[in-house]
Amino acid sequence: MGKIAVIASDDIAAIFRWAGVRDSFSVSTEEEARKLLYKLAKDPKYTLIIVGASIAEKIARTIELITAEQEYPLIITIPERGITPSKRVDPLRELLRRTLGIEIR
Amino acid sequence: MAELGIRVTRMELFKLKKRLEIADRARQLLEEKRKILAMELMKYVDRIRELRENVDHSLADLYDALIDAEMTMGKSVVRGLLIPSTDRFEIEEFSRSTIGISIPILKLKMTRGFMATNPYSLITTSIKLDEIASRVDDVLVSVVELAEAQATVKKLAEELDKVKRRVNAMERIVIPKIQHRIRYIEMRLDEMEREDMFRLKRIKTRLERRRRAGV
């Protein structure tokens, strides 16, 4: 049984925390987000970490590194109000381009 | 063309031909695996596109519900009501095997109902607030489905990458190397045969010359 964690902007984290994802964190700086993601990724109790698009944009490289190194937790980037995850925050993109030669939206 | 470490014997040639047969069969099998993996992967890529749209839609609904609630009750009131609740979700992890690859399966479990963990007055709050909670459930369901599909695609793509590299190594290194050795041995054996023939002819001529001289 694994837990879910959310790292997002203030309002999104608050909604998830209120709706039942207790480990929802709001971060403001890039450094803070990176440290928190590393800390959560090391903790075996988490199976899924949901990262808001505004944060994911800042720590795209960290997400890629963690995803490449470990199977769990799975890290998913979600759109936030008005911000959709850009192409570079997709760890699958490069892998699929190399193996299948296709671009995934 | 000096080849070190190759024994020029018929036995070695036989062994190499056998090895070439096995290598070619292995290449064919790997090629088949590569095709199956690519087809499977394409299916999941389409599914990911669909699931990403689902997540986007359920999140758009959630943000709409939030804006509606803020407009009806006021932004500060809504924020004031968003008190942290206890954990309601857990994820169960399983795995299944496809073409010898272990693929993750995730199952989202809601351990408690929303109202059990968030007691607030239904009279003083807008129905939009309940809507936000149910939208979060939808978002999590689609996010977990997407996470599962992405993890599957990652595993399949990594395996495909490995198989592709193996097929390439077979086609460009292993098989050509064996073929080259076979060609070398065949050539050397032919040469040895020609030398033997020449030697025999020389011996035959000498013997005939000696015989004639004796007579």
Please state the ipTM of this predicted complex.
Answer: 0.84
Report the alpha-carbon distance of residue B151 to residue B157 in Å, rounded: 10
Domain boundaries, chain B: 10-206
Assess whether pLDDT exceeds 70 at residue A98.
yes
* Candidates B82, B104, B153; nearest CB to A15: B82
- Chain B hits for A102, Cβ within 8 Å: 45
- The mean-pLDDT minimum among A12-26, A83-97, B121-135, B170-184 falls in A83-97
Residue B73's pLDDT is: 80
Domains of chain A: 3-99 (3.40.50.10580)
Is residue B52 within 8 A of residue A87, CB to CB? The reply is no
Report the alpha-carbon distance of residue B162 to residue B158 in Å, rounded: 6
Q: Which CATH architecture has domain B10-206?
A: Orthogonal Bundle (1.10)
Locate B175 and state its tokens: 């098989």
* Candidates B90, B104, B132; nearest CB to A1: B90
Q: Does A102 touch chain B (CB under 8 A)?
A: yes
Assess whether pLDDT exceeds 60 at residue A88.
no
Q: Is A85 helix (H, G, I), strand (E, B) or coil?
A: coil
Report the alpha-carbon distance of residue A63 to residue A91 in Å, rounded: 8
Q: Do B91 and A2 touch (CB under 8 A)?
A: yes
The count of other CB atoms within 10 Å of the CB of residue B171 is 15
- Chain A hits for B164, Cβ within 8 Å: 99
Is residue B107 within 8 A of residue B54, CB to CB? The reply is no
Tell me the count of A-B CB pairs closer than 8 A. 129
Q: Does A15 touch chain B (CB under 8 A)?
A: yes
Q: What is the largest CA-CA distance in chain A?
A: 42
Å between A26 CA and nearest CA of chain B: 13
Residue B99's pLDDT is: 80
The pTM for the full model equals 0.79
- pLDDT one digit per residue (tens) for chain B, 215 residues: 456 678 889 999 999 999 999 999 999 999 999 999 988 888 888 888 889 888 888 888 888 888 888 888 887 877 777 777 778 888 998 888 888 888 889 999 888 776 666 656 666 666 777 778 778 888 889 999 999 998 898 889 889 999 999 999 999 999 999 999 999 999 999 999 999 999 999 999 999 999 998 86
* Residue predicted with more confidence, B119 or A11: A11
Å between B171 CA and nearest CA of chain A: 18
